């Protein structure tokens, strides 16, 4: 067996809950085959391992080394088969089971019974918004109807053809909206927010060229969800936060008007809440932010929703990110670092399952919290996770700003040697990535020229000059994105006024949040 498959088996077994492991044992015993004891022994041996060790498996009594590849392959299939019989999987795949039963009856020439099962399956598919499965059922129904003797066959076929066309239309629209959304996301994960007029032009042109034509009144609730998610993603990307907020609210409104969607499309519901929280955070709508965050957290307690590991991962990610954002909004860096300390172990357990874009976002936000709490060495530790990331083509924005923030950390630590060394390295990186903006140039020039020997008056003057120059950039369409990554103005004010950055941000928050 290949190494990739071996790792897959190890990962699968170690991902199982206690009840799922017990269920596999029951399933294996029911098969009542002589070789099942070997399967269970291999399963138990791998289950006890923290790291995969094939030599330990070969010591199992009755197992020959030559058998091992096939045994592992079959074990992998049997574990998946046992999971398909679980209550969770049964609820998720009820329509799939109906389809299997209907196909069996059709192949046995029991066409009338097949059509009865198809009617039940179609009802379940519509209720659970499973359009792809529904299309497969409709195609099977078309074949089954033609095999029956029915005086009304022409009318049934016409109604069926109309239903197929409607389902196909919905699927096509959803695919168009979804494809546009994921491509915008892929672009964002590469460069971050738009950097210049060239980025803006290319994104606008691509969006306009690929945005499908439709009549809003004809769209189903599921189509509307994908439409609003795509539009809000576009507006966030081009930093039009007000319109992003508008369509994020529309998306959540669809869920409110169609409660069954939340259970059927829980992952999309989490995404809708997350998008709205992003907008409320950036627009300082704190009261709304708290209400939306409460809805997100309450998902963990809703019994009608079965939280798979994938949903738990998405939920944890959104809750944790926005808990950090809440502390940023209020300027509560100290309490924010306590949250990180409390959840760090849980975060590190989830990190292997998260995509690198999300991991780097976590690292950067955590670093900023520690910076705001004047724990500069700890902030550098988290920033280094980003800077040392081997995927150099991922989130170039975070990799760039992590280097800038690390320079400021070294300044706070009075480490002139590390400043001089890292200024050169940072300059080379920014030049290579073609992401050198005025914001970064001002900071690097400031750090390069300021000296320990400067008088306090001269130092304060330099801070004031940098603040003035930075404030000029805040209204620049392409420079203002930099202030999303690090609140340089608040840091400068803390130096000028000899107050903590936390006090400065808290005072501003009191004015802005609503």
Per-residue pLDDT reduced to its tens digit, 78-115: 888 887 766 555 455 778 888 888 999 999 999 989 99
Dihedral (CA of 392, 398, 404, 407) sign: negative
Q: Kindly state the tokens that stand for 100.
A: 């299997």
Through-space distance between the first and last CA atoms of the chain, rounded to whole angstroms: 59
Q: How many residues does the chain have?
A: 514
Q: What burial class does residue 21 get, using C-beta atoms within 10 Å of its C-beta: 0-12 exposed, 13-18 middle, 19+ buried? A: middle
**pLDDT at 394 (0 to 100):** 67
Which pLDDT belongs to residue 94?
Answer: 78
Q: What's the confidence (pLDDT) of residue 165?
A: 94
In which band, very low, low, confident or very high, does the pLDDT at 3 lie, cut at 50, 70 and 90? very low
**Which pLDDT score is estimated for 191?**
60
How much is the average pLDDT of 208-233? Answer: 92
User: In the predicted model, is pLDDT for residue 222 greater than 90?
Assistant: yes
Domain chopping of the chain, boundaries:
3-85
- Average pLDDT (402-412) is 91
Q: How confident is the model at residue 447 (pLDDT cuts 50, 70, 90)?
A: confident
Cα 48 from Cα 14, distance rounded (Å): 9
Number of neighbouring beta carbons within 10 Å of residue 77: 10
pLDDT reading at 258 higher than 90: yes
Share of the chain above pLDDT 70, in %: 92
pLDDT score, position 5: 41
CA distance 84 to 89: 5
Ranking 305-309, 393-397, 440-444 by mean pLDDT, the lowest is 393-397
Q: What is the mean pLDDT of residues 143-152?
A: 82
Task: Give me the pLDDT at residue 87, please.
Answer: 52
| Mean of all residue pLDDT scores within the chain | 85
pLDDT of residue 4: 40
Q: To the nearest whole percent, how much of the chain has pLDDT over 90?
A: 35
pLDDT digits (tens, 9 = 90+) for 265-283: 999 999 999 999 999 998 9
pLDDT digits (tens, 9 = 90+) for 64-83: 778 888 888 888 888 888 87
* Amino acid 483: pLDDT: 77
Question: Which contiguous run of DSSP H or E holds residue 113?
Answer: helix 111-127
What's the confidence (pLDDT) of residue 161? Answer: 93
Ordered alpha helix ranges (H), 147-285: 153-191, 197-210, 221-237, 241-257, 260-264, 266-282
User: For position 107, what pLDDT does the model report?
Assistant: 93
When mean pLDDT is compared across 67-76, 165-174, 393-402, 499-508, the lowest value belongs to 393-402
Q: Where is pLDDT greater, at 352 or 231? A: 231
Q: How far is CA 292 from the centre of its chain?
A: 18
Q: What is the mean pLDDT of residues 387-391?
A: 78
pTM for this predicted structure: 0.81
């Amino acid at each position: 067996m290949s190494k990739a498959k071996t790792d897959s088996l190890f990962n699968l077994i170690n991902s199982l809950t206690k009840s799922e492991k017990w269920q596999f044992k029951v399933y294996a015993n029911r098969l009542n085959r002589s070789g099942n004891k070997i399967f269970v022994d291999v399963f138990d041996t791998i289950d006890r391992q923290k790291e995969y060790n094939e030599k330990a498996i070969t010591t199992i009594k009755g197992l020959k080394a030559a058998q091992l590849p096939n045994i592992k392959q079959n074990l992998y299939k049997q574990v998946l088969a046992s999971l398909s019989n679980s209550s969770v999987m049964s609820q998720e795949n009820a329509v799939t089971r109906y389809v299997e039963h209907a196909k069996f009856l059709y192949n046995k020439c029991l066409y009338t019974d097949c059509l009865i099962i198809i009617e039940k399956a179609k009802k379940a598919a519509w209720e659970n918004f499973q359009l792809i499965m529904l299309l497969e059922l409709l195609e099977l129904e078309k074949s089954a109807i033609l095999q029956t003797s029915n005086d009304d066959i022409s009318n049934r076929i016409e109604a069926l053809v109309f239903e197929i066309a409607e389902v196909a239309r919905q699927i096509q629209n959803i695919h168009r909206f979804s494809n546009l959304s994921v491509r915008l996301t892929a672009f964002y994960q590469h460069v971050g927010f738009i950097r210049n007029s060239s980025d803006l032009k290319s994104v606008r042109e691509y969006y306009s060229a690929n945005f499908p034509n439709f009549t809003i009144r004809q769209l189903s609730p599921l189509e509307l969800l994908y439409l609003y998610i795509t539009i809000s993603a576009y507006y966030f990307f081009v930093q039009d936060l007000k319109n992003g907020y508008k369509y994020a609210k529309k998306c959540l409104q669809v869920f409110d008007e169609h409660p069954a969607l939340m259970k059927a499309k829980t992952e999309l519901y989490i995404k809708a809440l997350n998008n709205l929280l992003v907008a409320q955070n950036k627009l300082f709508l704190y009261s709304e932010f708290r209400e939306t965050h409460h809805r997100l957290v309450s998902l963990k307690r809703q019994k009608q929703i079965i939280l798979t590991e994938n949903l738990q991962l998405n939920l944890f990610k959104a809750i944790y990110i926005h808990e950090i954002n809440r502390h940023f909004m209020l300027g509560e860096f100290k309490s924010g670092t306590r949250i990180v300390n409390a959840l760090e172990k849980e975060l590190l357990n989830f990190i292997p399952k998260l995509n690198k874009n999300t991991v780097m976002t976590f690292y950067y936000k955590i670093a900023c919290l520690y910076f705001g709490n004047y724990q500069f060495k700890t902030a550098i530790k988290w920033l280094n996770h980003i800077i040392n990331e081997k995927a150099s083509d991922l989130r170039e924005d975070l990799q760039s700003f992590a280097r800038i923030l690390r320079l400021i950390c070294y300044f706070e630590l009075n480490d002139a040697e590390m400043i001089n060394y890292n200024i050169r390295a940072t300059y080379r990186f920014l030049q290579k990535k073609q992401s050198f903006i005025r914001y970064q140039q001002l900071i690097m020039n400031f750090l390069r020229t300021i000296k320990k020997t400067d008088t306090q008056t001269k130092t304060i003057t330099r801070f004031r000059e940098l603040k003035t120059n930075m404030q000029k950039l805040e209204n620049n369409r392409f420079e203002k994105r930099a202030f999303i990554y690090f609140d340089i103005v608040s840091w400068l004010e803390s130096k000028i006024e000899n107050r903590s950055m936390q006090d400065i941000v808290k005072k501003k928050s009191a004015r802005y949040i609503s």
